[in-house]
Copies of this chain bind each other. A is one copy, B any other.
């Protein structure tokens, strides 16, 4: 190990086997990055609560089960996204504690004890088609120990449904919003709450929606301050970001 080779060098300096100049020369040509390697990876582990996410599309069931197994061995929580019920069946056959989240189309397996957050993340979606997007974000948050609450089917075309829940919404520490079509929901929510809003445009829509470009531009141009945007259909990313922000409010926050 690296720390060991450093110790050997310093011992040599201490005993006079190596001169200071020689040690200096060797230290300066040491590939500097190796010093930080383990530490950074350690940070990564702390950061996510799970080292890697399994993106199921394009993988065989065998591959999914196999990767799943390796992540289980690693000891953290495990997340597989865009999983079909059949793929879950195979995973569940091998790991009986794996759980399927149908709306989110995710498989999770929790191995770390839950440290529930003191606040909650509101998960808001406009229409039925946006549901899988916001649900994957929600499952991600939960696996990262953040409590969540659902506010589904509260699109701006029927603004009263959203407003009837605005009080509950205002109590959230972070708000995630998934919306396709014109994506106006993020702006309206941004105007109702003082918490930061994580907006994820979805590719739901057609024609001049241009595969999610319309809600993306809408969200970027939001007249409400406090709205942050992630990539179109970036389900996991939205959840991860919301969870990282929410953690700031927990005692373990930095």
A253 CB-CB contact with B under 8 Å: yes
A155 to B188, CA, bound (A): 9
A22 nearest in chain B by CB position:
B10
Residue numbers in B under 8 Å from A211 (CB-CB): 207
A74 to B32, CA, bound (A): 28
What is the 8 Å Cβ interface bit string for chain A, positions 211-232, against chain B (1 contact, 0 not)? 1111111111111111111111
Interface of A, secondary structure class, is: helix
Q: Is the CB of B181 within 8 A of A207?
A: no
A13 CB-CB contact with B under 8 Å: yes
A48 to B156, CA, bound (A): 17
Q: Is the CB of A221 within 8 A of B208?
A: yes
A159 to B187, CA, bound (A): 10
User: Which of the residues B6, B33, B173, B223 comes within 8 Å of A126, measured between beta carbons?
Assistant: B223
Q: Is the CB of A32 within 8 A of B36?
A: yes
A198 nearest in chain B by CB position:
B228
A35 to B164, CA, bound (A): 9
Q: Is the CB of B221 within 8 A of A244?
A: no
User: Which of the residues B43, B188, B212 comes within 8 Å of A159, measured between beta carbons?
Assistant: B188
- A-B contacts, 24 of them at CB < 8 A, read A3-B28, A6-B24, A10-B20, A30-B35, A31-B167, A33-B160, A40-B160, A40-B192, A48-B225, A127-B223, A156-B184, A173-B254, A184-B187, A198-B228, A203-B207, A207-B216, A208-B212, A208-B217, A208-B221, A209-B231, A217-B217, A227-B230, A229-B229, A229-B230
Binding site for B on A (CB under 8 A): 3, 6-7, 10-11, 13-14, 16, 20, 23-24, 27-28, 30-37, 39-40, 43-44, 46-48, 119, 126-127, 155-160, 163-167, 170-171, 173-174, 181-184, 187-188, 190-192, 194-196, 198, 201, 203, 205-234, 236-237, 240-241, 244-246, 248-249, 253-254
